[in-house]
Structure 1
Amino acid sequence: MKLNEEHMRDRFCVAAIGYRQADTEVRGMFAVDADMNRQILAAAKTAGFKSVFIVSTCNRTEIYGYANHPHELAALLTRFTKGTVGEFIHHGFFKQGKDAMHHLFRVAAGLDSQIIGDYEIQGQLKQAIAMARAADLIGPIMDRTLNFVFQASKKIRATTLLSSGTVSVSFAAIEWLQQKVNPWPMKALVIGTGKFGTNVCKNLLHYLPQLQLHICNRTNEKSEELAAQLQAGYLPFDELAASLNAFDVIITSTAAPEPIVLPQHFVPGKQRLIVDLSVPANVHKDVAKIDGIEMANVDEISAILEQTIARRHMEVPKAEAIIAEFEQEFYEWLHTYKHTPAIKLVKQHLAGWARQTGCEFSGAATTANPEVDALLKQTVNNLMVNLKHKSEKGCHVIAAYEQFLNHPALSVEAS
């Protein structure tokens, strides 16, 4: 079988729809859950595809594979989605060859994420690939492709600041507090048990374990339930006003239309930290004027995120340079891979000639003689290096034969 480097490269395709092309409603028409993913993979196997995988998140649905055209992948995907192939073609985008490859490198690195540097996408990619591998739909070329992709992503994460810092308001609040709280035990209160407040509570317990956490909510049952779940203290809402002065750290995250934390709730002079993550504000603006209180609102906390995003954008050129490095290594490997049939044939011939020297073989390409094994491996490696840098296949094969056959390890002793 003749392997053509350009043909292999140009058959790598992606059909995709993401947050840049479509809103949540349209993206939802092409969302793929685990069961649907398995159905698509089974259909791909039946249709004769050799390598296909689908990654579907809240921000994107993308199907990668080796095909004649990306529309083949779109047609495969939309056999199982609510949205039609026509709608996918209208809202989505399609890449092939080097463009598709570069897109995958950028996705894995977090460069294409809605929040730049988001590393969660790599885990989602690996899950998608694991499903495809289980369906026997990750062929040898795709497997090596992904190896280079994840190596690039790993180096970007290790050597750049692309994924550094916090990118959620709830965690940014924790980051702000980490710079200011004392290492000894302090009483902390979180007001609000919605999704946002719950995340704050969990992050407080994880990152600031010295805080003695208490939870309060307008609906007492919700705060009591969360407090029990997290093994935290519970404060009934009707005791809030009388209890606020006892806390060192207060974080608010409720939908209250008016401030519920007021200046008269505090005695001046005590050092305390207050974070108001609510819109409209839960903490009266005059609370910040009380002696001993340091306060931050949602805009000030969000500024931390803006600084993080700005730092991440400054790292993009470094990340792109790393991607270019690994793309080049991949294409060099692909250039060598096209010689695989010839290399296998040479290996078989060399092994056969080694048998004629009297070496006992344990397999097609190994012998009972470690010296001959090492020679066989070295000869094939040298051939691969020569084929990688020069195109005179016949000359290199002849040289490999001569190198191998003239080695003393293959000389036959007179009987």
Structure 2
Amino acid sequence: MQLFALGLNHHTAPLAIREQVAFRPERLVEALANFVRVKPVKEAAILSTCNRTELYFATRDPHHAADWFAEYHRVALGELSPYLYTYPQRDAIRHVFRVASGLDSMVLGEPQILGQMKDAVRQAEEAGTLGVTMHKLFQRTFSVAKEVRSTTAIGANIVSMAAAAVHLSERIFESVREQRVLFIGAGEMIELCAAHFNGEKPRRLTIANRTLSRAEALAERFGGDVLRLDQVAEALPHYDIVVSCTGSPLPVLGLGAVERALKARRHRPMVMVDLAVPRDIEAEVAGLDDVFLYTVDDLAQVVASGMESRQAAVVEAENIINERVDGFIHWLDSRGAVPTIRALRQHAEQLRQAELERALRLMAKGEDPHKVLEALSQGLTNKLIHGPTRFLNEAEGAHLGDSIDLVGRLFNLHPDER
């Protein structure tokens, strides 16, 4: 059984493709259970974020995975194929290590991906799709990510997606301090964005969410107020900056709602940042003259300038990852010997039991214990070396030397003992 990683990300696929194959969080456990029913997948986890959707799985035959991926999302495989990548074993392990360490992120070294991967593992555990191999893989993954972040400068002065959202807003408005900011959603990304915007002390900060209790908790933390999701369209004219990131499969803000808001604002500009995949704000909104709409792909341009200072750390991080990949491959290889080791122990135990039972019968008949023990030890020795002795006696020609070396290493025999 081999490990594989299959998926697409911001390097290989545009947003329009990525949003078609994003897994809804509330259906992820169900999707995992469905995936492992595709024989012969044995273990699996799914990572689905704004920038990537990836399947990590263990199987003997990976060819069905791409078919399942396309079929599950009701997208033709031919449409997805140009954007998909599949990594086998060593490359898959290295990829998972790099993703968790932030080396494959849109924002190099960003820390959110590690938490997202831990969430993916928890969901796989809930679905019952993690076995010994992948459980060990993720244990090592989190250890590697911690080592990379603690021993290199990969996370120094990081420019996050949230900070980039603030920067984009400041391109349009001289200062966020005088603006009213509306956040749609109440997940981790919105929480991060709210923290960054709150640091600029905006005039007003509002959280809109389907579940008001979550919105109220965030609003209380940042000194803001709340809206129900169905109140957003009506309240939209009162906000200068809108940041949205929900798990909705359909847009929460349409072209018509934004047009009406602009009219009510007398066409004062609005900044809209859509961090959701699938998108929360209809793409047509970008065509309005007084709206500056940014998606997750646009934010990549903002953070690119901060990447140069971290390139030296990348080399160091890659070296750590390569060493840890070798270590995990060694562990996997040793797992391959487990059935043979188990069978060897079982064979030795059967020999021991047979000789012990024979000795007990002799002693029950009154035989001399010393002679019985001597016969027991000789019997065990003869049976245990019978296999290697026969192996050497049957070796011929060029194979004889190799056989002698093999048995010598197996029994730790020194050259002068051979």
Instruction: Give the TM-score band, short-chain normalised.
Output: 0.5 to 0.7
| Residue 337 (structure 2) aligns with | 339
Distance 1:227 1:338 in 2: 50
1:157 CA drift (Å): 0.9
Summarize the alignment of residues 190-339 of structure 1 with structure 2, pairs less than 5 Å apart.
Answer: 190-195=177-182, 202-203=195-196, 215=203, 229=220, 232=223, 256=268, 308-339=306-337
How many Å separate the matches in 1 of 2:95 and 2:104? 8
Q: Secondary structure of 1:194's match? A: strand
SS at match of 2:6: strand
User: Residues of 2 paired with 1:35 and 1:337: CA distance?
Assistant: 35
The answer to whether the 8 A contact 2:35-2:68 is kept is yes
Of the three residues 38, 41, 46, the one matched with 2:37 is: 46
* Superposition map of 1:3-152 within 5 A: 8=1, 11-48=2-39, 49-152=41-144
Q: 1:152 to 1:131 in 2, by over 3 A?
A: same
Distance 1:306 1:85, change over 3 A: closer
Q: Distance in 1 between matches of 2:332 and 2:315?
A: 25
Please list, as runs of the form range in 1=range in 2, the aligned pairs for 1:341-380 lying within 5 A after superposition.
Answer: 341-348=339-346, 353=352
Deviation at 1:317, TM superposition (A): 0.4
SS at match of 2:307: helix
* Contact kept in structure 1, 2:8 and 2:18, CA below 8 Å: yes
Q: Percent identity?
A: 26
Which runs of no fewer than 5 residues in structure 1 stay unpaired?
Answer: 1-7, 176-187, 218-224, 235-251, 259-279, 281-301, 359-390, 401-415
Deviation for aligned residue 1:151: 1.9
Deviation at 1:42, TM superposition (A): 1.9
Offset of residue 112 of structure 1: 0.9
Tell me, yes or no, if the aligned pair for 1:215 and 1:233 is still in contact at 8 Å. Answer: no
Change (3 A) 1:341 1:398: farther
Aligned partner of 1:380 in structure 2 is none
Q: Is the 8 A contact 2:194 2:222 kept in 1?
A: no
Counterpart of 1:309, as a letter, is: M
- Call closer, same or farther: CA 1:174–1:344 in 2, change over 3 Å: same
Work out the CA distance in 1 between the residues paired with 2:340 and 2:218: 67
Cα deviation for residue 16 of structure 1 reads 0.9
Q: Kindly indicate whether the alpha-carbon contact (under 8 Å) linking 1:14 and 1:70 is maintained by their aligned counterparts in 2.
A: no
Q: Partners in 1 of 2:13 and 2:309 — Cα distance?
A: 27
Query: Would you say the 8 A contact 1:42–1:135 is kept in 2?
Result: yes
- Give the CA deviation at 1:339: 1.4
Letter in 2 for 1:105: F
Moved more, 348-357 or 116-125: 348-357
1:166 to 152, 158, 172: 158
How has the CA–CA distance of structure 1 residues 170 and 91 changed in structure 2, closer, same or farther, with 3 Å as cutoff? closer
Give structure 2 stretches of 5+ with no counterpart. Answer: 168-174, 184-189, 206-215, 226-239, 243-266, 271-289, 291-299, 360-402, 414-418
Q: 1:350 to 1:116 in 2, by over 3 A?
A: same
| Counterpart residue identity of residue 342, structure 1 | T
TM-aligned CA deviation for residue 122 of structure 1? 1.7
Q: Distance in 1 between matches of 2:312 and 2:55?
A: 30
Number of residue pairs matched? 278
Aligned-residue RMSD, C-alpha: 4.5
Cα-to-partner distance string for 1:28-67 (whole Å, 9 max, x where unaligned): 1111113442333222333342111111111111112123
* Structure 1 residue 348 displacement after superposition: 4.5
SS in 1 for 2:12: coil
**Matched letter for residue 191 of structure 1:** E
- Distance of 1:328 and 1:139 partners within structure 2: 21
Residue identity in the other structure for 1:215: R
Which letter does structure 2 place at the counterpart of 1:122? L
Distance in structure 2 (CA, Å) of the matches to 1:150 and 1:227: 28
* Matched-pair contact (CA < 8 Å) for 1:15–1:64: yes
The residue type paired with residue 155 of structure 1 is E
- Residue 4 of structure 2: SS of its match in structure 1? strand
1:127-155 CA distance string (max 9 Å, x none): 22222222222222222222222221111
Alpha-carbon displacement from aligned partner over 1:257-287 (angstroms, at most 9, x marks no partner): 59xxxxxxxxxxxxxxxxxxxxx9xxxxxxx
Q: Which amino acid aligns with 1:314?
A: A
CA distance in 2 between partners of 1:39 and 1:111 (Å): 30
Shift of 1:15: 1.8
Q: Secondary structure at the match of 1:72?
A: helix
Task: State how far apart, in whole Å, the 1-side matches of 2:64 and 2:202 are.
Answer: 56
Contact 2:110 2:158 in 1 (8 A): no
Partners of 2:181 and 2:148 in 1: CA distance: 35
TM-score normalized by the length of structure 1: 0.55
AA partner of residue 95 (structure 1)? Y
Shift of 1:202: 3.3
Equivalent pair of 2:47/2:120 in contact (CA under 8 Å):
yes
